[in-house]
Structure 1
Amino acid sequence: MASLQSSPPGPKRWYQILYVQVLIAIALAIALGHFWPPIAVDMKPLGDVFIKLIKMVITLVIFCTVVSGIAGMNDLKKVGRVGGKALVYFEVVSTIALVIGLVAANVVRPGAGFNANPATLDVGAVQAYAGKAGEQSITEFLVNIVPNTVIDAFAKGDILPVVLISVLFGYALSHLGERGKPVRDVIDAGSRLVFGVINAIMRLAPIGAFGAMAFTVGKYGVASLGPLLTLIGTFYLASFVFVIGVLGLIAWWAKFNIFKFLYYIKEEILVVISTSSSDPVLPSLMEKLERAGCARSIVGLVVPTGYVFNTDGTAIYMSLAALFVAQATNTNLTFAQELSILAVAMFTSKGASGVTGASFIALVGTLAVVPTIPVAGMALILGIDRFMSEARALVNMIGNGVATIVMARWEGDLDQDRLEAALSGTAIFATGDLEDAAYSVAIPNETPTISAQTVVGSKP
């Protein structure tokens, strides 16, 4: 067997490490937003452009990854099996997240003592979101998974229609056998190109993080957190308990350490915190999960689908915020009514996905279905919703990363050695293809993926 020993790249200086750059950018943004709010608000386009750059290529990442993964499957029944298992997993874990939000609201009671009068609240500020919440039913949401045309799906950038197209193309390509090899080669080469573009765009993450965080602090101000600090603190605490307790237990069952995994995706965590969105890190999260030993077919199916159906952070927020509004407006709820909120939220959280301000819109839609709680009470949290969106997006992203590793292990498509090596800071390619190894090394990680002792083997 031929072997090749690769020399490690030279150590990076501390200021060249991406997550350090993002941390510095966030600190500068908070200072700018606090001392010079008008200037900070004008920084918003920097964050918007960075997010748009990432979204520009997300559909291509999904298409190349899913088509390539499915085309390489020998058992096409596996696609349906993995999808079915993933949806069951998503629903179970999201329900646990909803319950944690309900429990946190009942134990801490963050809305107690507000004594807000719904008649005096700014109903107009909520009506715009109420209109959006009623625009799309669950049935329409399911029907819209099928795009009008193939081009339409990519033009709109909706995730689920692109996943559907990718599954169909991958299925057809797998049936072509050797005749489809030239097309598979083109798609594989295209995926390398697209991830190269993503890598270049991620170099701009500190600039995007600076613009988004500066706008948030400059626009709303840290002082605006005061009156609702209990709600924000309760939400962050509930999110922490869910990640460490629930996802940590799931990770332990799947034989990996949740803390090592969080460190492994530290760059993605910082970008999500600063931009209040999980979309910018979808491509890099998929690439890191592949590097950690998850099969490309599993990553391509689970991560994009999970971005729509596995919204654990949104679930915690919805149940907690709904009970907060009830407590703040002195609306007494029975246990049965709380369960009805949980049941409705299980559906409304999916129906509003892909819409700007999706979590807030979904919550308005939930309260509209449960008329006991005045929708006008949503005006209480409208101003500070942005400060909770970071945790929502962060929990959503972490939850989908954990779900992918769990699905890969469940299907026997997880390379345990590569997972342990990735989480410990190195990447091992024992007998893999040289081309695949070179591809993984070519996409820089802030933690070196090749050490001086790593031997990359080729097939005999």
Structure 2
Amino acid sequence: MHKEALVGRANTEAAKPFYRILYVQVLIGLALGVLTGHFWPEFGAALKPFGDGFVKLVKMMIAPIVFCTIVSGITSISDSREVGRTLVKSMALFYLLTVLALLAGLMAVLLIQPGVGMHVSVSSLDPSVAAKFTKQASATGFTDFMLHIIPHSFFGAFADGEVLPVLLISILIAFGLSRAGDGGAMVTNAVASFSHVLFVSFGFIMKLAPLGAFGAMAFTVGRYGIRSIGSLGLLILTFYLACSVFVVVVLGTLARLNGFSLWKTIRYFKEELLIVLGTSSSEPALPGALRKLEQLGCRKGVSGLVLPMGYSFNLDGSAIYLTLASIFIAQACDIHLSWGQIAAMLGLMLLTSKGAAGVTGSGFVALVATLSVMPDLPVTGVALLIGIDRFMSEARALTSMVSNCVASITISLWENACDREVLARELGQGSTPAPAPAPAIAAAPLVREEKGWISTTQSAA
């Protein structure tokens, strides 16, 4: 049944005119946005509400989708110890990837040295730029971050729309339903049914993705202009090169060691990655990525935990940015840092890169938080980066998105919670949009199969 459904879905995709395929529409939106922002900059900058509106629509759906996905997934796991193993393995992998990302940024900036020769005087830098982010950065210490995971109220987590508080509530409710026996069956089925409704509704929102990408890109190019790359072009090139090396070498090796292809994985999530490129945020891609991980054969109870966690604990793009931007400021201001100072800075960044998670512009906020407690580097140095930060945010978000998708598949494989046959078959044919579940089976119960867990709606899709 599942194999026939895949063939039917592929035939449906092939029969579509190319201009009706989502990722093609997003590409067209991005291209039109660049042209509009370049030739009509004032008009392009005025299109910002289109991008912001799309991101807000998606964020509106993230909290309930994460809640339903995690609750449905954990209640399907008979051994509760598996959840603990998944959390421990995920955190270990996330911190390993973060360390490698920090080193990738450090090696790139030391080898290419984009700031050498600029001879910027610290006294000439505008302190008001850093002041805007200092208040946010002061509230992103590790202790504050851990306490922030606990919401003020049950519904407050959903009202704020932040992933980690929703994740905490989802785990608690899922374990409660697992222990409630027959009394919790009705709630479990209701959550599963509501999950299908949410994904169908999210499919409607995704039809606006080309418009959102168009507005966001037109604003970026119109407001900052291609010329703003100018003198700092080498820094941007260094950052993109560091991100590319991290993805190809580190993530490519991780994927190969676990028996799947990085390039096929990137192709499979191409729609989500294009949306991330257009909006400079990885959040709009979360619901679609959760759905596609299930299509790849990953059990919802595992991938539904790992991916939302990665959005707060595995920001590898921001980690690369932290080391690269910090050393760049030192180079530009002619400040020499010893290896001991650099090592201390890397240890601090392991905390600040997590502490700023969930904050808008988290990479820039984490940089301010790091410089605020580093006496050797001027926090006013961030003024050098503010004009090009928007052009670097796309690479931060894309790198973190690819890393989290690879990590989710990897952890699922480690936990024997991913059907390798389905994974190979799906990656081999590329991504195709899953049809909306039929109303007649929307509330179908969850079933177990010999090589993984899927819902009856998924097997019938």
User: Structure 1-normalised TM-score?
Assistant: 0.92
Cα offset for 1:131? 2.2
Tell me, in whole angstroms, the C-alpha distance in 2 between the residues paired with 1:112 and 1:37: 32
Counterpart Cα distance in 2 of 1:372 and 1:433: 53
* Structure 1 match to 2:135: 131
Supply the AA of the counterpart residue of 1:436: S
| Correspondence 1:343 to 2:362 | no
What is the DSSP-based 3-state SS (H/G/I as helix, E as strand, rest coil) of the residue aligned with 1:424? helix
Q: For 1:166-193, what per-residue CA distance to the aligned partner results, in whole angstroms no more than 9, with x for missing partners?
A: 0011001111223322211111111101
Alpha-carbon shift at residue 438 of structure 1 (Å): 4.2
- Which amino acid in structure 2 is aligned with residue 219 of structure 1? R
Question: Within 2, Cα distance between the matches of 1:138 and 1:147?
Answer: 16
Question: Amino acid of the residue matched to residue 130 of structure 1?
Answer: T
Aligned residues of 2:101 and 2:316 also touching (Cα < 8 A): yes
**Residues 408 and 389 of structure 1: is their aligned pair in 2 closer, same or farther, counting only changes over 3 Å?**
same
Native 8 Å contact 1:291 1:440 kept in 2: no
How far, CA to CA, are the matches of 2:114 and 2:286 in structure 1?
33
Whole-angstrom CA distance in 1 between matches of 2:225 and 2:450: 54
Q: Which residue of 2 aligns with 1:249?
A: 253
> How far 1:439 sits from its partner (Å)?
3.9
Alignment partners' CA distance in 1, 2:31 and 2:48: 16
After superposition, give the CA deviation of every residue in 1:333-375 in whole Å (9 maximum; x if it has no partner). 0011111111111101111111111110110110111110111
Where does residue 49 of structure 1 map in the other structure?
Answer: 53
Provide the C-alpha distance between the structure 2 equivalents of 1:410 and 1:357, rounded to a whole number of angstroms: 32
Q: Structure 1 residues 17, 416: closer, same or farther in 2, change over 3 A? A: same
By how many angstroms is 1:433 displaced? 11
- Structure 1 residues 111-190: aligned runs within 5 Å: 111-190=115-194
CA apart distance, 1:254: 1.0
Distance 1:172 1:225, change over 3 A: same
CA distance in 1, matches of 2:459, 2:3: 17
The amino acid of 1:357's aligned partner reads G
1:127 Cα deviation (Å)?
1.1
* 1:226 paired residue number: 230
Pick closer, same or farther for the CA change 1:435–1:119 going to 2, 3 Å: closer
The answer as to whether partners of 2:141 and 2:351 remain within 8 angstroms in 1 is no
Corresponding position of 1:79: 83
Residue in 2 that maps onto 1:454: none
- Provide the rounded CA distance (Å) in 2 between the counterparts of 1:331 and 1:440: 60
C-alpha contact 2:2 2:460 (8 A) present in aligned 1: no
Aligned mates of 2:324, 2:155 — CA distance in 1: 39
Alignment RMSD: 2.2
Q: Could you tell me which of 236, 239, 245 is aligned with 2:240?
A: 236
Q: Note the C-alpha offset of 1:135.
A: 2.6
Is 1:436 the counterpart of 2:440? The answer is no
Matched, 1:289 2:293: yes
**Residues 117 and 2 of structure 1: is their aligned pair in 2 closer, same or farther, counting only changes over 3 Å?**
closer
Task: Indicate which of 307, 311, 325 corresponds to 2:315.
Answer: 311
**2:108 touches 2:324 (CA, 8 Å); kept in 1?**
yes
Unaligned regions of 5+ residues in structure 2, if any? 435-447
Identity %: 45
Query: Are 2:383 and 1:379 aligned?
Result: yes
Aligned position for 1:13: 17
Shift of 1:136: 3.5
Matches of 2:161 and 2:452, distance apart in 1: 33
Q: Does the CA-based 8 Å contact 1:110-1:230 persist in structure 2?
A: yes
Match of 1:101 in 2: 105
Deviation at 1:430, TM superposition (A): 9.1
After superposition, residues 196-211 of structure 1 pair within 5 angstroms as 196-211=200-215
2:442 is aligned to none
Letter in 1 for 2:141: S
Matched residue type, 1:226: G
Which structure 1 residue ranges, 5 or more long, are not aligned?
443-460
Q: Structure 1, residues 398-442: CA drift from partner, whole Å, max 9, x if none? A: 111001111001111110011111111279999899993644775
Greater displacement, 125-134 / 35-44: 125-134
- Give the aligned residue type for 1:261: T
1:146-203 alpha-carbon deviations (Å, 9 max, x no partner): 1121101000011111001000110011112233222111111111011111111111
SS in 1 for 2:281: coil
| TM-score (normalizing by structure 2) | 0.92
Q: How many pairs are equivalent?
A: 442
Distance 1:195 1:117 in 2: 53
Determine the C-alpha separation between the residues in 1 that align with 2:343 and 2:452.
52
Which amino acid in structure 2 is aligned with residue 93 of structure 1?
Answer: L
Q: What CA distance in whole angstroms lies between the structure 1 residues aligned with 2:460 and 2:26?
A: 23
1:191 to 168, 190, 195: 195
Superimposed CA distance per residue, residues 290-325 of structure 1 (whole angstroms, 9 cap, x where no aligned partner): 110111001111011110000110000000000000
Q: Residues 339 and 150 (structure 1 numbering): CA distance in 2 closer, same or farther, change over 3 Å?
A: same
- Determine which of 235, 247, 262 is the counterpart of 2:266: 262
> Aligned with 2:359: secondary structure?
coil
The 5-angstrom pairing of residues 212-223 of structure 1 reads 212-223=216-227
Looking at structure 1, the residues matched to 21 and 369 of structure 2 have their Cα atoms a distance apart, in angstroms, of 42
Q: For 1:382, what is the secondary structure of its paired residue?
A: coil
